[in-house]
Structure 1
C-alpha cells in the first residue's frame, strides 16, 4: 500500500464506492475494480473492531473521560509535597478542547473506587508516567484494574474506548501481553519525528477517515513529539504475539535509526495507543522542550487525535448516577499549579492527595 493512499481516496471512499464504480465499463475494468474491492474487503476484515454486538449512544454530547494520575517525580513533588499523584494539565486541556470533560483517576485507591469511576466515565486516557513502573507503581496497578474492566465491558457489548499515550502506550502493550514486557531500549527523547504509515493504516478506524492534510503533515513533517527511552519494534510485536491483539499502523525512528512502532489499534477492541505526545504540540512550552513542533499544521495534527478519541467516548453509555455526584468527581474541583519552574516537561499540573 503506497504511503500516499489518502491522496487518492476521495475517488473511492469505501468498498461500496468501488463496487458502485464497477457497474459500468469494459469487462476488464469491471473485473479489475472488483478485484481491488475484494482486496480491500479482506484488509478491512483484519480489523474486526468488536466480537459482539455494540450498544452505544451516538448522541452523547456530555462525554466525560478519565485521566489516570501518576506518582510525581521529586522535582514535581516539590510543588505540592503533600500530594501523592498528579496529572499534567496539557492532557486535560487536550480533551477539553474537543468538548469533553475530565475526571482525574487517583492511584492507590480501593477496587470499589475504580469500579465506580469506570461505570461513570465514557472513556479512559492513560497518560505518560515518566519513571513510573509498569508493574509496581500505583499508576500501573490502577491501570491494570481499569484495563481489565474495559476488556470485560467490551466483551459484553458495552462499548468503552481506551487511549494510551507514551507510557500509557507502553502500559497497554504490557497488559495485553499478559503482564509481560517486550519493550526494547531506544533513544527518542526530546525528538520530533514523522510517521511512516503501514498498509493497515488505510483501513484502520484511527486513520481511515483522517483529513488528508493531517495525514500529509504526519508523514511528511517532523510533527510528532517523542519523549521516551523504551520502544516496541515490529519484530518484538510479532515475537510476543501482540500482533494478534494490535495492528501497528505507523512507525518512527529514533536518534540511532531504530524503527519503532508509533501507533497501534486493537483488532477486537476500541483501544488505541501512540508512542508520541500529540498534546505537547498545542499546550507545552517548556524552555527545554526544544523539539516540540508548534507550527499550525503540527498543532492541527495533534488535535486530530483528541477529536478522534473524544468522538469515540461519545458512543459510551456510562454516566454518573446524578449530576450532583458527577460534579464531585470532575477536574474543576482542583486548580492547576505552575510547574515549569521545577519541571522541563509540564507548564501546569493538577495534584491529588
Structure 2
C-alpha cells in the first residue's frame, strides 16, 4: 500500500529547500531581497563604459579615434580587486544584454558629453540602466556605479531621460563630505571604518570637477527622493548646495558627484586633487565597496580564454597627460573597435558575427 505525504510536510520541505537556496545565493525571491545576496564571487569582472572623444583629445590625436576611457577608472576598479572589460558606445540593446550577462557590474565614468548625442554615452547608458533594472527585478544581482557625469547620467535615466540638472561651479574644488543624518544606515557607509568616515567628514579629500549638479530640490521636484537616498551634500564655489553621494533605495545602484579615482591615479598639476595618505585611504574605500557589490553577481564568461579576449589588457593606454590632457593615461578606440575574439568554426574559416570577426 502506498503512503501519501501530507501536504503540510511537503510545504515545509519546500520552504526549507527554498531558504537554503536563497542563503546560498542561488535564488533571490524579489528585488526587495536582493541585498541579502552573499558575496561569493572572488573573481569579479566589471565593465567601464566608453564615451565620445572630447574636443581636446580629438585635436591632439588628429581625429583618428571615436571613443575613450580614462585609464584612472580602469585602475580604480583594478585597485579594488576586480578586472575590467571596456563597454562600447554605439551598439544595439542585444550587445549590452550579451556583455552584461558576462559582467558583474558596470561603471559610468565622468566626462563632458551631451546626453542628447545619438548612439553615444547616454544612449548606451540608457540600455544598461534598463537591463540592469530588469536583472535586479528578476533577482539577478547587478550593481551600477556612476562618477560625476556618471552620477548625472544615472539620475537622468532614473528620471526617464528628463534633464534635471542645475548649473554648478565646482571645478578643481576639494571638499569634505557633509553627511546627512541617516548616512550610517546606508549600504554604502554602514560598514565603513571609522577612520574612513572621519577623513571624508573632516578633510577636503573629494575631488570635484563639474559644471552641472543636482540639488535636493531637483530630487524632490522630479520625485527622485523616493527612488534615491541622499547620503551627503556639498557647497560649490558660489555656495550652492548640491547632492554629492546617493544610493538607490531598491537596487544596488550608487553614484558620487566627486572623483575618487583622481586622488589615487591622476597627477595633472594645479587641479586641487588631494594625494595625502588619508585621501588615498578614503578613495580606496569606494573602489573596494563597489567591487564587493560586484562579488554578489554570479555572471561569468565561458572560461578563462573567453575572458581574456574581452579584457582591457588587449588595448594600449596612451600617455595623454604628456599632451596636456586632463587624464594621465587614456584608452583610445577607433569607431569599429571590437573584442579580440578568435575561434575556428568547424571548417576552420573566418566568420563574422555582429561585427566581430571570429577565426
1:61 deviates by 1.2
Contact 2:207 2:262 survives alignment (8 Å): yes
Asked if residue 148 in structure 1 is aligned to residue 130 in structure 2, the reply is: yes
Contact 1:183 1:232 survives alignment (8 Å): yes
Q: Which residue of 2 aligns with 1:59?
A: 40
How has the CA–CA distance of structure 1 residues 326 and 117 changed in structure 2, closer, same or farther, with 3 Å as cutoff?
same
Please identify, of 133-142 and 54-63, the stretch whose mean Cα deviation from structure 2 is larger: 54-63
**2: CA distance between counterparts of 1:79 and 1:99?**
32
Q: Which residue of 1 aligns with 2:114?
A: 133
**2: CA distance between counterparts of 1:303 and 1:80?**
35
Asked if residue 123 in structure 1 is aligned to residue 100 in structure 2, the reply is: no
**2: CA distance between counterparts of 1:334 and 1:212?**
39
Q: Which residue of 2 aligns with 1:321?
A: 302
TM-score (norm 2): 0.82
Please identify, of 334-343 and 249-258, the stretch whose mean Cα deviation from structure 2 is larger: 334-343
1:338 deviates by 0.7
Give the alignment of 1:37-48 within 5 angstroms: none
Runs of at least 5 residues in structure 1 that lack an aligned partner in the other structure? 1-48
Contact 2:31 2:138 survives alignment (8 Å): no
1:56 deviates by 4.6
**2: CA distance between counterparts of 1:108 and 1:208?**
38
Asked if residue 98 in structure 1 is aligned to residue 80 in structure 2, the reply is: yes
1:52 deviates by 4.4
Q: Which residue of 2 aligns with 1:221?
A: 203
Q: Which of 190, 197, 218 lines up with 2:172 in the alignment?
A: 190
How has the CA–CA distance of structure 1 residues 201 and 55 changed in structure 2, closer, same or farther, with 3 Å as cutoff?
closer
What secondary structure is seen at the aligned counterpart in 2 of 1:90? helix
**1: CA distance between counterparts of 2:109 and 2:324?**
17
Q: Which residue of 2 aligns with 1:238?
A: 220
**2: CA distance between counterparts of 1:136 and 1:75?**
18
**2: CA distance between counterparts of 1:135 and 1:282?**
32
Contact 2:34 2:141 survives alignment (8 Å): no
How has the CA–CA distance of structure 1 residues 251 and 327 changed in structure 2, closer, same or farther, with 3 Å as cutoff?
same
How has the CA–CA distance of structure 1 residues 247 and 153 changed in structure 2, closer, same or farther, with 3 Å as cutoff?
same
**1: CA distance between counterparts of 2:181 and 2:247?**
13
What secondary structure is seen at the aligned counterpart in 1 of 2:153? helix
**2: CA distance between counterparts of 1:348 and 1:54?**
35
Contact 1:71 1:129 survives alignment (8 Å): no
Q: Provide Cα deviations, 1:155-194, integer angstroms capped at 9, x if missing partner.
A: 0000000000000000011000111111100100111011
Q: Which of 282, 304, 321 lines up with 1:340 in the alignment?
A: 321
Q: Which residue of 2 aligns with 1:33?
A: none
| RMSD of aligned residue pairs (Cα, Å) | 1.5
**1: CA distance between counterparts of 2:309 and 2:270?**
36
Is the radius of gyration larger for structure 1 or structure 2? 2
**2: CA distance between counterparts of 1:327 and 1:288?**
38
**2: CA distance between counterparts of 1:316 and 1:188?**
35
Q: Provide Cα deviations, 1:93-131, integer angstroms capped at 9, x if missing partner.
A: 11111210000001112322211111000000000122x
Contact 2:56 2:325 survives alignment (8 Å): no
Q: Which residue of 2 aligns with 1:293?
A: 274
Q: Which residue of 1 aligns with 2:56?
A: 75
Runs of at least 5 residues in structure 2 that lack an aligned partner in the other structure? 1-29, 335-359
Length, aligned pairs only: 303
What secondary structure is seen at the aligned counterpart in 2 of 1:92? helix
What secondary structure is seen at the aligned counterpart in 1 of 2:321? coil
Please identify, of 267-276 and 90-99, the stretch whose mean Cα deviation from structure 2 is larger: 90-99
Q: Provide Cα deviations, 1:120-143, integer angstroms capped at 9, x if missing partner.
A: 00000000122x112325111001
TM-score (norm 1): 0.83
Q: Which of 147, 167, 179 lines up with 1:165 in the alignment?
A: 147
Asked if residue 305 in structure 1 is aligned to residue 267 in structure 2, the reply is: no
